[in-house]
Structure 1
Amino acid sequence: MPTPRTVLLTGAAGGLGTLMRDLLPAYGYALRLFDARPVEGAPDAITADLTDTAALREAVDGVDAVLHLAGISLEASFAKILKSNIAGTYDLYAAAHEAGVGRIVFASSNHAVGYTPRPVGDAPPIPVDTPRRPDTLYGLSKAFGEDLAQFYWDKHGVETVSVRIGSCFAEPATVRGLSVWLSPADGARLFHAALTAENVGHTVVYGSSANTRLWWDLTSARALGYEPQDDSEPFAEKLIAEQGELDPADEAHAYLGGHFVTNPPIWPH
C-alpha cells in the first residue's frame, strides 16, 4: 500500500499524539490535527469533541487514513468513558466511512486483556487471540473499539489495525514497564507499518519495542513490516534497584494490566 498522503491524527494534544506529531512527518505524512484541547503551536488544528458530528466531518474530509489516539487513557467514570471512548470512537468510524476513508489505525490497549496472567518463567508470550479480559471500564472501551473495528471491516470494508499499546514514553517508569514499553521511535515505526501494510482487514497487534522482558507476541505486528529497534533493558538495573522485582503474589504484578486490575470501581457513574 502506498504511503497515505494526509492522515488525521486524533488526540493530537495528548502525550502520545504530541510524540507522533514530531515523528511521523519524517515518514512522508501530512498530519491534520484534531483534539478536544487546543494543540500548542498548531493554529490550524481542529479543536472539537469527538461527538461533534460537524467537526468530525470536516476532519475526515479528504484524508487518506486516520490514526485514532483520542480518548480517555486512564480509568474514569462510565459516563465519561461512554462519551469519549465508546460513542466518540463510533462517531469517528461513522464519519470516516461516510467520507470514504479506507484505513484507520486504532489505539487499543493491553488493558483490553488486562486480566490475562502475565507470563512467568518459561511460559510462552501472550498471543493476540487470547480471550479479551478487560481490567477496567477503560479496558472495556478498548475491547469495544476492537469489536467496532471488526464490524466496520465486515460490514463496510473499512480496514483497521488495532494496536494494543503498552506504554509509550521516552523511557519506562516502572519494572512492569520494562515488559510493555514502546519507545516513541518504535511507536512511529509501528504506526507507519500499520498505515501502509497491504490487506490488513482488521488486524490486532501488540504495541511494544523488542524488549528482553517482553510479555506478548509481536508476530502479527512484524507481519505488517514492523521492525522494532529498541529494548527497555538498559533501564532495568536502575528500576529494579529502586522498585524491586515483580512479585507474582501481588495482584498488581500477577496480571498483564498491572495496577489497573486493583483499581477500585468508580461509582456513581
Structure 2
Amino acid sequence: MVTAQRILITGAAGRVGRALRPRMARPGRTLRLLDIAEIEPPASGEAVETVRASFTDPDAIDAACQGVDAVLHLGGLAGEAPWERIREINIDGTQRVLEAVRRQGVPRVVLASSIHAAGFRTRDDAVPVREEGAAAGAPAAELPADIAPRPDTFYGAGKAAVEALGALYRSRFGIDVTCLRIGAFRPRPLAPEDLAAWLSPDDAARLVEACLRAEPAGFRMLWGISRNTRRWWSLAEGEAIGYHPRDDAEDHLAALLECGSFGRADFDPAADRNFRVGANFCTMPLG
C-alpha cells in the first residue's frame, strides 16, 4: 500500500491546516499548501509548495490539482455565516474542488465535514453496542458515523451538502472520498461537551493518514474525534481503515474543573449541550 506522496491541502493557513502541516511531513512527501491567507514560508528542509489562491477560483484550483496524489480539502468558512456566504464558499467552492479533482484525475480526496452536519442528532439516536463486541471502557451506545444528516445551522447544512457532493463524485466518477465529521478540534478540551467531542491535533493527523492509505476505494463517513472516555460517537468506521486514536479528553478533566468555569453538573449527559451532537450550535441564531 502506497501513501500519497504529493498532497494538496486547501485552507492550509487555517487552524487545522497549520496544525496538520508538521504532523503530515514525511520523507519523500511534498505538501502543496493553498490558501488566500499568507502561508508561512517553508522551514529548512521542509518539502512544501505554496499557492496563494482561493479554492473557489476554478482556474486556480484546477492548476493546484495538477500532479497530486490526493487532496485534503480543509478550506471554507469555519462557523455560522449568512446562507449566501455558506453557499458560495462551502458548497459551491467544494464542488469546484471536486470538479478539479475529476478533471485532473486525482484518485483520492478527503473532505472536512463537521459534527454540525448532524447537530440535531441526540443520544437517543445512538445504537446499543453488543456486549460481546464492545471493548473495555467502550460506551454502551454509539452514534454511527454514517447516520443521516440533521444539521443545526446554515453551517451544518452546508457541510451536509459537502457530504452529498462527495457521495455524488464517488458514485459518478469512482473517486475515493472520505468525509470527516470533525468534532471539537483544539489542543485541549475547553468546554463540557468537548469531553465527548474533542479531536486532538495528533489524532487528527492519524485520522488523515488513515484516509490517505484506505483501501479499497470507496465512499466513507467518519467521526473526527479522539478516543474519549465520554464519547458516544462510533469509532468503528475509522478503525476499519486503520484509524486508532490515542488521546482522551478525560486526561484534561482536572484542568477543566480547576479553571473554575465549569462544575461537575456541566457534564450531565442529559443537559442539552451534552445530549445533542451540535451542543450550543442548536440554539444559536441562524446566519
TM-score when normalising by structure 2: 0.87
The residue type paired with residue 83 of structure 1 is E
**What does 1:59-208 align with in structure 2 at a 5 Å threshold?**
59-118=64-123, 124-208=141-225
How far 1:123 sits from its partner (Å)?
5.4
> For residue 182 of structure 2, what is the amino acid of its counterpart?
I
Is the counterpart of residue 232 in structure 1 residue 249 in structure 2? yes
Tell me the CA shift for residue 51 of structure 1.
1.8
Q: Which residue in 2 is equivalent to 1:257? A: 278
Name the stretch that deviates more: 157-166 or 21-30: 21-30
- The answer as to whether partners of 1:134 and 1:140 remain within 8 angstroms in 2 is yes
Say whether the 8 Å CA contact 1:37–1:47 is kept in structure 2. yes
Calculate percent identity across the aligned residue pairs: 40
What's the Cα RMSD here? 2.0
**SS state at 1:76 partner:** coil
Q: CA deviation at 1:175?
A: 1.4
Tell me by how many angstroms 1:209 deviates. 1.0
Say if 1:114 and 1:256, in contact at 8 Å, map to a contact too: yes
1:221–1:235 Cα change, 3 Å = same
Cα displacement (A) at 1:249: 6.2
Residue 35 of structure 1: aligned partner: 35
CA contact (8 A) 2:12 2:35 kept: yes
2:180–2:221 CA contact under 8 A, matched in 1: yes
**In structure 2, how many angstroms separate the alpha carbons of the residues matched to 1:29 and 1:80?**
34
Q: Distance in 2 between matches of 1:167 and 1:186?
A: 12
Q: Post-superposition shift, 1:41? A: 2.2
Aligned length, in residue pairs? 266
Deviation at 1:129, TM superposition (A): 3.0
Letter in 2 for 1:255: R
Corresponding position of 1:12:
12
Distance 2:27 2:214 in 1: 14
Deviations 1:127-185 (A, max 9, x none): 12322100011111111111111100110111111111102211111111111111111
**Following TM superposition, by how much is the alpha carbon of 1:57 offset from its aligned partner in structure 2, in angstroms?**
1.2
The residue type equivalent to 1:231 in the other structure is D
Quick one: distance in 2 between partners of 1:104 and 1:144? 16
CA–CA distance in structure 2, aligned partners of residues 182 and 236 of structure 1: 15
Moved more, 240-249 or 257-266: 240-249
For residue 97 of structure 1, report the CA deviation from its aligned partner. Answer: 0.5
CA separation of 1:23 and 1:88: change in aligned 2, threshold 3 A: same
> 2:257 & 2:88 partners in 1: Cα distance?
39
Write the letter of the residue equivalent to 1:15. R
Long gaps (5+) in structure 1: none
Secondary structure of the structure 2 residue equivalent to 1:225: coil
Contact 1:175 1:236 (8 Å CA) reproduced:
no
CA drift at 1:200: 3.7
CA contact (8 A) 2:142 2:232 kept: yes
Q: Equivalent residue of 1:210, what SS?
A: coil
CA drift at 1:252: 3.5
Partner-residue secondary structure (3-state), 2:116: helix
Give the distance between the partners of 2:7 and 2:159, measured in 1 at CA.
22
Deviates more, 1:247-256 or 1:136-145: 247-256
Whole-Å separation in 1 of the counterparts to 2:179 and 2:27: 20
TM-score (norm 1): 0.93
